[in-house]
Structure formats: structure tokens, C-alpha cells
Amino acid sequence: MATNQEKLFDMFEPVSTEDWVAKINVDLKGADFNKKLVWRTNEGFNVQPFYRRSDVKELAHLGTLPGLCPFVRGTKFSNDWLIRQQIEGCTPEEINREAVHAIDRGVDSIGVKLGRDVTAADLEVIFKDIDLKKIEVNISCCMGKAVEIARMFVDFLKSKGVEKEFKGSIDFNPFKRLLRHGIEFPRDIKDEALALYDAVKEVPGMTCFAVDSYMLNNAGAYITQELGYALAWGAEWMTLLTEAGLTPCDVAARIKFNMGISSNYFMELAKFRAGRMLWAEIVKAYGAAEECCKMKVHAVTSQFNQTIYDAHVNLLRSMTETMSAALAGVDSIETLPFDLQYKKPDEFSERIARNQQLLLREESHLDKVVDPAGGSYYIENLTASIAKVAWENFNKVEDAGGFLAELRKGEIQKSVNESGVKRHVDVARRKEILLGTNQYPNFNEKALDKIEKDGCACKCGCGQEVEDGAVESLVFDRAASQFEQLRLDTERSGKRPKVFMLTIGNLAMRLARAQFSANFFGCAGYEIIDNIGFKTVKEGIDAAMEKGADVVVLCSSDDEYAEYAPEAYKELGGRAMFVVAGAPACMEDLKAQGIEEFIHVRVNVLDTLVKFNAKLLN
């Protein structure tokens, strides 16, 4: 069979792209192909409804192999990744206990935050019974203490004789203050970075210059924004330190990209592939050899789309996000616990987060295939499209003076915040769906009692202090925060408005509109009273009053609203708020008769419910 060159299905004539398009246009019956089927993404490019071999023949990277420059298909010949867990603890003993517990349960990379007053003796306790040759350790600390802690940690590694085998990082991110608070790092970044490099140079496996673009992801950045700014961030490190005398290979080897993962499954997969390819080009431009052009990537699931209500849906989101990163060939992944937004993660949620990756690696064997997306017409085109737009974003930043210069002007923060605002509007209008929050909510769920975190439960940055002279900083409002505030207001009020579905007339339409209306008002935590249908309007109004309804929603067909709506409005007589489900042709006539409230797919769900809350909860 190995020598059999017989073409499969050779009895069929080849079909050209033009033939396919012609057939599709027949099926569209006059509708515009581009408007109906071509998807204009928020990332700044179009996605076609189908792709063929001809669509990838011009892609230069397609003939490359995993492990070889430009590394679009991966930086290594395998697809193994490390499972990371952030370790929480107030004392060295507690940190050690949590770390050993996590490692025993499958984690091979840990994140540890070290306080200002950490000592060499503390390190002995923290890393007791942890094999530092096998377990990756990633340290975060106060930026002002990074050099001191790095020196102490390197001395600790040398005392154990593991400095050559150790893998890990010191997360030095002096740009964080500008991103989070709009204020400068208080010391000279170059001097601090050089001192840090000198501190870790005897440990070849330790990175120390962080590109924490997950912050942009958590503020609502689109994929091409995050990637473009991450590349500019990395280039800032390259420029800063090569101009200070370090070689391009020395600098590139110490940079780690800590990137976010949104739920845009295929595009996130393509983002990491595009990122590796572009980073290789950037590092080569500094004169580095090809083997120095590998992009070290840690990926962390998004907080932007995590929710407090129906929090177990967070597991579905983080699972697809983890899969995107795993299939894309990143170096390590942190899957965040599903309850992170309202409490300190407990043993159960941390265990589930670990097991999500263990399932993908040990049961689904995603580590056994290198670049499984390679050659896919769709994903290869996404990779090229994301690379093109991200490269444009990168060049805009470079042309404006570089990443740090744009941060100091607040331009990057402003651009990301504008995307965050747009995404919040899309969530409010249900163009972007958060299952369980703005669509198909659990009507009867209560969340007020389960919120344990101090301060703002919505993670909206309301506790940040802004200093004089500060530029714009990132806003970390999660996509669900406004809807959650709406429901929490309902809970805090001690009232729970009742919404009664007055279903009448056409069976299919009344059922569909009752379901739509139930989901609509359920987003505010109202009590929903559904019905199988009424024979007369008066019968429905009487039933609504008997149930103590605060809102009566008329659910019928457009043709029947001209008759039913005025009758129901008159029969109700102002005893409850009256709503028509839909946007019938007779809407203006109904408004002229005093009917003001209409809900349909084009309204802003959030704004409408805020208005109802103002009337019903006071």
C-alpha cells in the first residue's frame, strides 16, 4: 500500500473555489455573500466561511517544522507543558505545606510570592522536600526587592548544588505600576534590570524580565492587541538591555512572556503560534542567532470572563482556554480556580483546576502530538491574520517611541480600556455571551452570602488610589461585573420583583417570547412566573394580580399585539409595569396609547434592567 499512488475519489471532477461560491450564492437566494457569511472579527480582520488549499499556498511558514525557526509550530520537538499552581500561604511553613501538597497531586511548576522580609532561613523552610531539579519555581515579589531576593535565592540554589539544573523565574515587571496605577517605577529601570541580570547569570534556567500581557487580557484587550503590545513589551527589554551592553542572546534567554488566554478557542490557539513566529523575527533583528529566538511562554486562563453567579460555568471557560494553550504548544499553563472571584480558592477548586490539565495531559494525551493544528487551512489563515494585525500594532508602538514611551503617555492603557468598554457594551447587548450571566441565568441563585473577599467583589479596581500626575491606568472590570452588580442590588434590597408571563395567542411565538423574556429578566435575579397560556387577556391579568406580579410581560405574535396589547394595558390599569415582548410593526401605535416598555434582541439588556431596578427596588 505504501507504493499505491491511487488518488481517492478520482471519479469526481475537481471543484474550484469559484464553483463553491456560485453554489453558495444560489443557496443564499440573493443575500449578500460578504454580509451574510464573512465574519468581521473584533481582532481587526475578516474570516471566510470556508478555506481551501489555495488559501495557504502563499504562507511562508507552512513548510517549517516544530522546534525549528521561526518556531510557529513550537519551540521544541515535543508538546509537553508544565502544570503550574500559584501557592498561597502566610508563613513559610504554610507555603511549604501547600506546595508539597500540590506537587504530590501532579503539579510540576509552582508560583510563590515572597514578602519583603523573607530570609535565607525562610527559603530553607519554603522549599523543604521539593526537588528543585524537577519542579519549576516562579517567584513574584515587590519590585523594589527583586534584586535582593534574586541574590538570596541564587545563593540558596548554589548551596543546594542545583543552580545549573534549576528552571524557573523571578517576575520583574517595573512596568506594572504604569499599567495598574498610572505611575512610574521609582528607580532607574535599566540599572535595576542590569543588577537583576547580574544576580541570576549563574543560573542559566532562570528568566527574570517579565512580559505580563495577561494584565491586558484581564482588562479586556482583544487578542491582536495583547499580542502586539506583548511583542512591543519584549522589544523594550531587548532595546533597553542590548544598548546597556548585553548581547541579544543574553537578553532573549531571560525574557518570559506571561500571557492570558481568552475563550476565543481557535484564535487563541493561533495567537501563540503567531507570537512565536513574530518574536523570532524581532530577536533576529537584534542580531541574535536562530537558537536564541525561542519565545518562552507561560499561559494563564482569563479573569475577564470569570463570573460570580453560576460560577461552575467558569470551569467550561477555563477548560477551553487551557486546551487552546496546550494545543498551541506553550511551555506552562496555570488554570485558575473557578471560585477565584468571590473567595480564596479552597482545596476542592484548586484540585479541580489541577485536574483540568491532568485530564488533558494524562487522559486526553494532548502532549503526545506536536502542533496538531499545523496544516489546518482555517488555523493557518488565522495564524497569518493575527500575525499581520499584531505586527501592525507592534509597529505603531515602535514608531511612537516604544512600549515604555507609550505607557508613560497612557496610550496603551487607553487603547485597552477602550476595548474593555466596547466588550462591556457587547455583553450588555448580548453580542458577547456570558452563559449564566447575561444569557440563561440561574433565576433562583443567590451569591451575596458566598462572597468572602474584602473590598470590591467585582474586581473593578475601585480601591486603587491615583496619585497626582498619574496617567490613565488599566481598568480591570470583568465582563460580568455590571450584571453582577445588578443582581447583587436585587439581593441587597430584600425584594425580589415578580415577572409574570401573560402568554396568549400563537403557540410557537408565545412560547419563544416567554423563554426570551424569562432569560431577560432573570439576568436581574427577578422571580419568573411562566404560564402555559390563557384564553383571554382578562384571564391572564387576573392571574397575574393573584400572583402579586410586579411586571406583566405580554407574550404573543406580532400580528396579535395590535389587539392584545391595548386590551392588556387597559385591563392592568397601572397595577404593575407592562411590557411587550418583541418589536412589532405596530410599536409606534402602541406607544401612542401609553405602552412604553418593549424588550427584544436589539435592546441593551443591562440598561433596560437598570431602569427596571430603579423603579422596582425603591
In whole angstroms, what separates CA 200 from the centre of its chain? 32
Q: Name the percent of the chain lying above pLDDT 70.
A: 96
The answer to whether residue 192 scores a pLDDT higher than 50 is yes
Residue 455 has pLDDT above 50, yes or no: no
Indicate the pairing of strand 527-529 with strand 82-87.
Answer: unpaired
pTM equals 0.94
Confidence at 63, pLDDT banded by 50, 70, 90: confident
Per-residue model confidence (pLDDT) at position 610: 98
Q: How far apart are CA 350 and CA 89, in angstroms?
A: 14
Q: Letter for the amino acid at 67? A: G
Rounded-to-integer distance, Cα 465 and Cα 476, Å: 14
Dihedral of CA 193/198/199/201: which sign? positive
- Whose grid coordinates read 533583528? 285
CA 276 – CA 364 distance, rounded (Å) = 25
Q: Averaged over 290-317, what is the pLDDT? A: 98
Q: Quote the cell numbers at residue 345.
A: 480558592
The contacts of residue 209 (CB under 8 Å, 6+ apart) are: 172, 193, 196, 237, 241, 251, 254, 255, 256
For the segment 158-186, what is each residue's pLDDT rounded down to a tens digit?
A: 999 999 999 999 999 999 999 999 999 99
Question: How far, in Å, CA of 457 to CA of 450, rounded?
Answer: 11
Cα(550)–Cα(561) distance, integer angstroms: 21
Confidence tier at 115 by pLDDT (50, 70, 90):
confident
Contact at 8 Å (CB) between 214 and 257?
Answer: no
Take residue 616 and report the three cell numbers written for it. 422596582
Nearest alpha-carbon partner for 272 in 200, 218, 214? 214
For residue 136, pLDDT beyond 80: yes
For each of the domains in the chain, give its residue range(s) and CATH number, in order of start.
61-414 (3.20.20.240), 495-616 (3.40.50.280)
CA 261/CA 265 separation, integer angstroms: 9
Q: Pick from 175, 180, 299, 280: which is nearest to 237 by CA?
A: 175
Contact of 605 with 430, CB cutoff 8 Å = yes
Question: Could you tell me if 532 and 511 are in contact, meaning their C-beta atoms sit under 8 angstroms apart?
Answer: no
pLDDT at 458 (0 to 100): 34
Which residues lie closer than 8 Å to 290 by C-beta, 6 or more apart?
Answer: 69, 280, 284
Q: What is the pLDDT of residue 13?
A: 85
Q: How many helices (H) does the chain have, and how many strands (E)?
A: 22, 15
Q: Which residues of 82-112 are buried (b: 16+ CB within 10 A; e: fewer)?
A: bbbbbbeeeebeebbebbbebbeeebbbbbb
pLDDT, tens digit (0-9, with 9 covering 90-100), for 349-391 = 999 999 999 999 999 999 999 999 999 999 999 999 999 999 9
pLDDT of residue 462: 36
Buried residues in 63-73 as b, exposed as e (16+ CB within 10 A): ebebbebbbbb
